[in-house]
Amino acid sequence: MGMIKKTLLTGVKPTGMPHVGNFLGAIRPALALAEQESYNSFLFIADYHSLTHVHKAEELRQMTYEVAATWLALGLDPEKSVFYRQSDVPEVFELNWILACFSPKGLLNRAHAYKAKLQDNQEAGRSDPDYGVNMGLFTYPLLMAADILLFSADQVPVGEDQVQHLEIARDIAQKFNNNYGPLLKVPEFLVQKESKLVPGLDGRKMSKSYGNTIPLFVPSNRLRKLVMKIKTDSSPPEAPKDPNDSLIFTLYREFASAEEVDSFADHYRRGISWGEAKEALYQVMDRTLSEPRARYEELMADTRQVDQLLLSGAERARPLAQSKLKELRKAIGL
Ligand code: TRP
């Protein structure tokens, strides 16, 4: 008996090489979902979303490859998931316009990113409240709604910061449906607890803006150096230590087997030197990352491979997008 598969879709904005926090909080859980047989999964690089703030061609191109190569290196199977670049599916923009005509401006006025800009301007005492706001930034949630609704996504895994955008997409879909009938699938979101709080080197949440990250595919010796920089207290080597109060341990458990975690915890309670603990962490991280790192380097050295994979993903995506649009155009009277 055929099972009706749900559509899982998510977009990743290019921001350069992801770090360990991105991997544990977003990439790994999304890949685990995409692998499930119960889903048809779509994963795309939201390069046009980056254009709202990245205005250097070489930078945008490089960041796009880095993010695509990262996902592929970490095991994204482009046969199973439809993996494409947003900009290779121009149908998104036709839907974007249609949706714009069903989006009250006030809805977008309330979007967090836009409101944060308004507030910055107010705090800086600027006379123009919209200073530094381009229309791409303002309509960012609309483009995201188009990404999602075009493929009738059932479920969209996102970080907590994107939940409002999903609510906006749902709102717009409902407005459209109220007028024309249930043509747009109203998507659900799956919130990924990025706030699983992967700690950075200094113990705060790992984040580019804090400069405390461990980039995912740095060479092994550099990885080791970074791990050695993780903040620790001054307790002496032989002192018993609480595994649940240790950055090193928190990271270790994400990369090690259950038995390894147990025995590491024992070692903590018996007393472990921070140097030893860090060495053990480095070992399990390097073990997990070395193969993907090699694959990443190989892909980055031959970006034509990446282009080809992305283009063949777009070739699979476009017919679906076109048939959806055909249906919508008819419904709106074109
Ligand atoms: N805005 C998302 C982010 O910054 C990326 C994104 C673009 C997206 N389009 C999407 C995510 C569609 C999910 C679905 O992370």
CATH code of the domain covering residue 319:
3.40.50.620
Residue at 319 is within a domain: yes
Residue at 212 is within a domain: no
User: Within this chain, do residues 71 and 127 fall inside the same structural domain, yes or no?
Assistant: yes
pLDDT of residue 3: 76
Report the separation in Å between the CA atom of 11 and the middle of ligand 1, taken as the mean of its atom positions: 4
**Segments of the chain with pLDDT less than 50:** none
Ligand 1 pocket, mutate which of 43, 162, 164, 166 (most atoms under 8 A from CB): 162
Ligand 1 pocket, mutate which of 43, 95, 144, 164 (most atoms under 8 A from CB): 144
pLDDT of 36-54, one tens digit each?
A: 999 999 999 999 999 999 9
Residue at 61 is within a domain: yes
pLDDT of residue 17: 85
- Segment holding 7, helix H or strand E: strand 6-12
| Nearest CA, atom 3, ligand 1 | 13
Q: What is the value of pTM for the model shown?
A: 0.94
- What DSSP state is assigned to residue 306? H
Distances (CA, A) of 100 to 93, 108, 242: 10, 10, 54
205 catalytically annotated:
yes
117 catalytically annotated:
yes
* Of 13, 117, 241, 324, catalytic: 117
Residue at 146 is within a domain: yes
Range(s) of the domain holding residue 272:
217-295
User: Within this chain, do residues 243 and 161 fall inside the same structural domain, yes or no?
Assistant: no
Side-chain-side CA neighbours of residue 53 (13 Å): 12
Q: Which atom of ligand 1 lies nearest, measured to the CA of 157? A: 13
Distances (CA, A) of 113 to 11, 162, 167: 17, 10, 14
3-state secondary structure of 202: coil
User: Within this chain, do residues 100 and 142 fall inside the same structural domain, yes or no?
Assistant: yes
Side-chain-side CA neighbours of residue 29 (13 Å): 18
pLDDT of 294-307, one tens digit each?
A: 999 999 999 999 99
pLDDT of residue 195: 53
pLDDT of 194-233, one tens digit each?
A: 556 789 999 999 988 899 999 999 999 999 999 999 999 9
- R_g (Cα) of the chain, nearest Å: 22
Residue at 175 is within a domain: yes
Residue at 203 is within a domain: no
DSSP symbols for 249-273: HHHHHHHS-HHHHHHHHHHHHH---
What's phi and psi for 256, nearest 5 deg? -110, 165
